[in-house]
Structure 1
């Protein structure tokens, strides 16, 4: 499952990260993140995985599209 730009923005918001913080944690250029979140371009699958992995390591859980739509939430402790 590749994450959407909305899920990326929402995931960052849940943990209070800036694009700079996500860029450092994922080793993805800030410009790539900004363009993805603005809907200007779709990153490579590997880049999406790097973003998802960094957000998950910080406590974000991605919810797949399952009738209610894709989303994000914080992982339970």
Structure 2
């Protein structure tokens, strides 16, 4: 596990959204983005702005997602770290 801020991949962010049971519209609202922005990001149609990726990651982390890197990149859910009930 990383001790610093992990930069989660597009696919990890999408998988984390599904894992916590959010649809694209719910994640978009939580991240302060348009649903179309989340859709475009997840589908990889265009390179995202870093601020978009960060907003999505922060919204997921507020729901208890912990992103990892190193020898086992990915994520897990830690409900004790959730700022927002899931």
Q: Could you tell me the TM-score, scaled by structure 2's length?
A: 0.77
User: Which consecutive unaligned segments of at least 5 residues does structure 1 have?
Assistant: none
Structure 1 runs of 4+ off > 2 angstroms? Answer: none
Aligned residue-pair number:
75
The runs of 5 or more residues in structure 2 that have no matched partner are 1-5, 81-86
State the TM-score, normalized to the length of structure 1: 0.85
Shift of 1:59: 1.0
The structure with the largest alpha-carbon Rg is 2
1:46 and 2:51 correspond: yes
Deviation at 1:67, TM superposition (A): 2.4
**1:67 equivalent in alignment to 2:80:** no
Which residue, out of 25, 37, 40, partners 1:35?
Answer: 40
